Copies of this chain bind each other. A is one copy, B any other.
Amino acid sequence: MDSPQTASNKLWFLKHIRLFEGISSSEMQEMEKITRMEEVKKRQPLYLSGDPSSNVYLLKKGRVKISNTAANGKEVTFDILEPGEVFGELETLEDVPRSTSAETLDDTLICVIPRKDFDQYLAMHPNVTVKLTKLIGLRLRKIQSRVEDLVFRDVPARLAHLLLELRKTDGVTDKQGIRLRAKLTHQEMANLIGCSRETVSTIIGQFRDQELIQMDGRTITILDEQKLSNLLS
């Protein structure tokens, strides 16, 4: 087994971070110098809304949930990040408190970069800054489409949309259909599409009855992608 604590391994991991796609390896080496690698167990908070924005993170292994919780306990999930993503950089750019919380969903491996070092690094590596701008731009477009979903679509359509999105990042084709590795709870799906847990249960049940999906324990398999797409209308 590789030991992820070694510097050589850190470099190997950096290659798989989207921020460094198309970036020279000497520039990655410089980034390597300012990062600290950490293993974080599942279900651990990395930061909470309101915290000072002292670090930027690179996700190596496992998934991280970016969310926010209202006073009454209700939660929205903005994104579930897969390995390769940068996160936590938004607020550090302006040095304002965290506007979201981040929590690991699995046992993860993350790189931690102190805010100041990240700022300095960006100032010295303009092409990485351009890449970062593009990544933030992609995220903006993604969340714009979340707003459209909430305004234009009802819950069945939003849920179908979620499943079809998960298929892209998380789907594995097998004999019956496309299996989603995600294993989200109904509550987590509800937080992603903005509805109650009970409604997700009901609609998932309808999808199962209509043989659009199949459930094996907590694993979802998409059986009929076409009919699911039709629900988006």
Among A72, A93, A134, A145, max chain B CB count under 10 A is at A93
A129→B138 CA distance, assembly (Å): 16
- Asked whether any CB of chain B lies closer than 8 Å to the CB of A233, the reply is yes
Are B141 and A143 in contact, with the CB atoms below 8 A?
no
With A76-B147, A143-B144, A147-B143 as known contacts, state yes or no: A130 contacts B137, CB within 8 Å: no
Interface window among A17-25, A56-64, A148-156, A214-222 = A148-156
- Identify the A interface with B (CB < 8 A): 68, 70-72, 74, 76, 78, 90-91, 93-94, 99-100, 122-123, 126-127, 129-130, 132-134, 136-141, 143-148, 150-152, 194, 233
Contacts of A233 in B (CB 8 A): 71
Residue of B nearest to A133 (CB): B133
A158→B171 CA distance, assembly (Å): 36
Contacts of A140 in B (CB 8 A): 90, 136, 139-140, 143
A123→B126 CA distance, assembly (Å): 7
Sample of 15 A–B contacts (CB below 8 Å) = A70-B148, A71-B233, A76-B151, A94-B137, A94-B138, A99-B144, A100-B144, A122-B130, A123-B126, A123-B127, A123-B130, A136-B137, A146-B147, A147-B147, A150-B150
Are A194 and B137 in contact, with the CB atoms below 8 A?
no
A8→B136 CA distance, assembly (Å): 34
Are B147 and A150 in contact, with the CB atoms below 8 A?
yes
Are A148 and B76 in contact, with the CB atoms below 8 A?
yes
Are A129 and B133 in contact, with the CB atoms below 8 A?
yes
**Which single member of B70, B126, B141, B146 contacts A152 (CB below 8 Å)?**
B70
Ranked nearest first, the 5 interchain pairs of A and B with the lowest CB-CB distance are A126-B126, A151-B194, A150-B150, A70-B152, A133-B133
Contacts of A74 in B (CB 8 A): 151-152
